[in-house]
Structure 1
Amino acid sequence: MAQRRKKVVAPPTTIRRLSIYFRVLGGLKALGETSTSSGDLANQTGFTAAQVRRDLTYFGSFGKRGVGYDVAQLRQHLASILRVNQDWRMALIGVGNLGRALLSYDGFKNHGYNVVEAFDIHPELVGKTINGLTIHHTRDIHTLFANEQIDMAIVAVPAENAQLVVDQVVDAGTRAVLNFSPAHIRVPDHVKLSNVDLTMEVEYLSHAIHSLKTIAQT
């Protein structure tokens, strides 16, 4: 039984690692495994066993010394911490190539994240149905966010439009924004922002490849 602490404040990096542990535990459960250890989790994630234990202790005492962790129980605890055991309502703004790919991504729905509204500004998309969702004009954001009680907004628009769109969804009451544009976005303190810049990630990989070639040639 986990012993809970009061007013837990874990670093964002810890929360991101919990997501990785959660997925690994899901894989172990699917294989019929009933127990695991910090060492096993470390081997499958690339972190150290000490790091795994340290991350978990932010939220209580899990497992037993010499026995390890019960896979199903630990996964359930992490699901509660990550709030994946509840339904989250999301809206997508920007139904271009990336936006359409996100609408088709089953990983959101499989973890309780449901895209319930989609918006765009282009006349050829507004009114069209994609993956069961009717695309609305961005001018309807405020009304539909209120009606649908949107928790999070996914922004997949060009950089020059991103801040304006984010301002709209924040004004409409969203509490979190997942931004796929390369723009530097500002939000109020009460809104959580996460940025995903795919081009930046590719640039990092291209630099890494070049560095490896340079080292190999020396």
Structure 2
Amino acid sequence: MNPRQTNAKAFKDSSKGIPEATVARLPVYLRALQGLKERGVETVSSEELAAAAGVNSAKLRKDLSHLGSYGTRGVGYEVEYLVYQISRELGLTQDWVVAIIGVGNLGRALAGYGGFASRGFRVAGLLDADASIVGERIAGLTVEHTDKLETIIKDQGVSIAVIATPAAAAQPVCDRVVAAGVTSVLNFAPVVLSVPEGVDVRKVDLSIELQILAFHEQRKAGGPHEEYIEVHP
């Protein structure tokens, strides 16, 4: 049995029970590996890959061990094969059909993002409730009215719904996509969505991320830290 076959068997045996924290880092490793592959790099050490991904090498080796990939001592990891391993674990060796609901500035930017197709995602529907936007062509797709949401989900085989609507519309839209059979939602609306068990929601809130960065900037700058003084009457 050659090393590739050994790795494949180990990967198959270890593909269950991967910690959520590891799953969250796999796309970061994949992005770093794809950059290496584009530069023609064939093998990479754990230290080099960890540096490119912004983690320590011990954590990276432990994460990759969950995939059954341990590298070769003195050589490192085979870049192309590790790309395949991680892509397969993340489900990126098949196409996932995406619908974007809400075609404001953010929705337009997402629709025009060229990186989806190369990462296994195909945007097949753009929907909005604003009649002035319906009918526009964006990134090769015609914006449809949200009245057609269920039809597009069914006809296009949508697996992932991206919600980029105003906050007030997000929950009703989420309810509709879930009722239509979608079980994965990426939420950009500034609201927490309520979904039934078995539906996965990932929330992206840019304002929260900026506020966290502002906190760290204040700490680094030695900004105002008010001390609470007990005042007795």
The TM-score, its normalising length taken from structure 1, stands at: 0.94
How large is the Cα RMSD of the aligned pairs?
1.5
1:121 and 2:102 correspond: no
- CA deviation vs aligned residue, 1:86-135 (integer Å, no higher than 9, x gap): 11100000000100010111111221211100110011011222221111
1:140 and 2:151 correspond: no
Structure 2: which amino acid aligns with 1:161? A
Identify the match of residue 177 of structure 2 among 169, 173, 177. 169
Residue 16 of structure 1 aligns with which residue? Answer: 24
Q: Distance in 2 between matches of 1:82 and 1:120?
A: 30
- CA deviation vs aligned residue, 1:148-188 (integer Å, no higher than 9, x gap): 11000000011111111100111111120000011011111
Structure 1: which amino acid aligns with 2:68? G
Tell me by how many angstroms 1:62 deviates.
Answer: 3.3
The ranges of structure 1 where at least 4 consecutive aligned residues each deviate by more than 3 angstroms after the TM superposition are none
Identify the match of residue 27 of structure 1 among 30, 35, 47. 35
1:42 and 2:50 correspond: yes
Structure 1: which amino acid aligns with 2:97? R
Q: Distance in 2 between matches of 1:96 and 1:37?
A: 43
Check the 8 A contact 1:92/1:156 in 2, yes or no.
Answer: yes
Structure 2: which amino acid aligns with 1:84? L
Identify the match of residue 163 of structure 2 among 155, 172, 193. 155
Q: Distance in 2 between matches of 1:179 and 1:131?
A: 21
Structure 2: which amino acid aligns with 1:73? Y
- Which structure has the bigger radius of gyration? 2
Identify the match of residue 211 of structure 1 among 219, 225, 228. 219
Is the deviation greater in 120-129 or in 5-14?
Answer: 5-14
Q: Distance in 1 between matches of 2:167 and 2:111?
A: 20
1:183 and 2:183 correspond: no
- Alignment coverage as a number of residue pairs: 216
Tell me by how many angstroms 1:16 deviates.
Answer: 1.9
The TM-score, its normalising length taken from structure 2, stands at: 0.88
Q: Which runs of 5+ in 1 are unaligned?
A: none
Q: Which runs of 5+ in 2 are unaligned?
A: 224-233
Q: Percent identity?
A: 40
Residue 74 of structure 1 aligns with which residue? Answer: 82
Q: Distance in 1 between matches of 2:86 and 2:15?
A: 17
Structure 1: which amino acid aligns with 2:220? L
